Amino acid sequence: MPVAGKVALITGGVGGLGKAFATALLQARAAAVCLVDINKRGEETAEELRKKFPTNQTVEFYECDVTDYNLFKGAFDFTEKKFGGIDIVCNNAGINALDHEIDKSIKAFRLNLEAVFLGTRLGQMYMDKSKGRGGGVIVNVASMAAFMPIENCMAYTGSKAGVVALTKVAASEASLEEYGVRVNCLCPSFTDTPILDYVEGTREAINMIPGHHILKPEFVAEGFMQLVEKEDLNGAIMRVTPQKGIDFYKDHKRVPSFSVAPSKL
Ligand SMILES: NC(=O)c1ccc[n+]([C@@H]2O[C@H](COP(=O)([O-])OP(=O)(O)OC[C@H]3O[C@@H](n4cnc5c(N)ncnc54)[C@H](O)[C@@H]3O)[C@@H](O)[C@H]2O)c1
């Protein structure tokens, strides 16, 4: 999909990776990006991006808790109404939690997994080609934690594994339900964003792992752009790691042995 002229909605768009994805889309001449985030400082980020890309491109901030279906749907309504349609959805908002933090762990499951499910369904509905919209692409942000568990972070690890699994189902629905919406999954390794400051000493610990270093958000954004642009990628599970760079989890093209076609909403 050529990104020029397209409209994108990014959850967690004010955070480290979300902002890097927005920047990469604007560099590729996306027409508009809506940053959907619970962080009230989002307007500052939107203004910063508007100044960086001053031509006819637009950046909007929409304050929203994406774990609330109706509020999240409001972000899709806003973006569609303001820009005339949506072509790219990135379900990126996520948090970490330690196992002894029960309330925070519940929030992590709700944000990292439930909200990704909601954003995937909303993306399918708001880009549904069979209902007269233009089709498009969804990128769900999981993590390498989906494959290599992070000790003491059950909610984070479990929710990210769930994102990989639900992406495979949504991808098979692209043709089954004729949505015309590709769905891919991005699994970065540790990346230099504020999430690494959640537990003190994380950065030092990562740098001590042999052969490991913390990735730059711009490098992860290169992988993100491939998942958006390459029309042959649907159900792709992309890894971004310091060891292998950008590659794919080997069973990314696996299709279900049987399919149950749910009736359309
Ligand atoms: N940085 C890493 O090392 C790393 C590695 C693998 C995967 N990831 C994933 O990348 C994604 C982005 O994380 P990041 O590294 O940019 O961290 P970040 O903390 O910089 O960004 C997360 C963003 O999500 C927003 N957010 C939190 N709760 C929300 C809610 N209820 N509704 C809407 N927005 C909400 C935050 O305000 C923040 O802007 C996450 O899903 C994270 O799990 C990060």
Domain-embedded: residue 256: no
Per-residue pLDDT at 254: 55
Residue 47 lies in a domain: yes
The verdict on residue 253 lying in a domain is no
Closest alpha carbon to 127 in 192, 79, 74, 57: 79
Question: What is the pLDDT of the chain when averaged over all its residues?
Answer: 93
Q: Give the range among 29-38, 53-62, 69-78 with minimum mean pLDDT.
A: 53-62
User: Could you tell me which residues are beta bridge partners of residue 61?
Assistant: 35
Q: Is the CB of 18 under 6 A from ligand 1?
A: yes
Mean pLDDT to the nearest integer, 55-66? 93
Which protein residue's CA is at the shortest distance from atom 34 of ligand 1?
Answer: 37
* pLDDT of amino acid 177: 76
Domain span including residue 18: 7-248
- 263 in a domain, yes or no? no
The predicted structure's pLDDT at residue 252: 47
If you take atom 37 of ligand 1, which residue's CA is the nearest one? 39
Does residue 190 line the site of ligand 1, with CB under 6 A?
yes
For residue 48, what is the domain's CATH number? 3.40.50.720
- Residue 257 included in any domain: no
Residue 105 lies in a domain: yes
- How many angstroms is it from 15 CA to the middle of ligand 1? 6
User: How much is the pLDDT for 257?
Assistant: 46
* 57 — pLDDT class (breaks 50, 70, 90): confident
Ligand 1 lined by 217 (C-beta under 6 Å): no
Q: Band of the pLDDT at 73, cuts 50, 70, 90?
A: very high
Q: How far is the CA of 240 from the centre of ligand 1 (A)?
A: 16
Tens digit of pLDDT for each residue in 202-245? 999 998 988 889 999 999 999 999 999 999 999 999 999 999 99
Strand pairing partners for 59? 33
Distance 189 CA to ligand 1 centre (A): 13
- Residues serving a catalytic function are 156
- Lowest mean pLDDT, pick from 22-36, 127-141, 238-252: 238-252
Q: Which atom of ligand 1 is the closest one to the Cα of 93?
A: 24
Strands 237-241 and 245-248: antiparallel
Q: What is the pLDDT of residue 235?
A: 96
Distances (CA, A) of 27 to 20, 82, 179: 10, 21, 28
pLDDT of residue 262: 47
Ligand 1 contacts CB of residue 65 (under 6 A): yes
Please give the pLDDT value at position 253. 54
Which residue minimizes the CA distance to atom 6 of ligand 1?
A: 143
Phi-psi bin for 29: left (phi > 0), alpha (psi -120 to 50), beta? left
Within-domain flag for 197: yes
Provide the number of structural domains found in the chain.
1
Tell me the residue length of the chain.
265
Answer whether 202 contacts ligand 1 (Cβ < 6 A). no
Residue 260 lies in a domain: no
Q: What integer is the mean pLDDT of 144-171?
A: 96
pLDDT band of residue 264 (cuts 50, 70, 90) is: very low
Percent of the chain with pLDDT strictly greater than 70: 94
Question: In angstroms, what CA-CA distances link 9 with 77, 88, 109, 219?
Answer: 11, 6, 21, 20
Distance CA 234, CA 231 (A): 8
178 pLDDT band, cuts 50/70/90, is confident
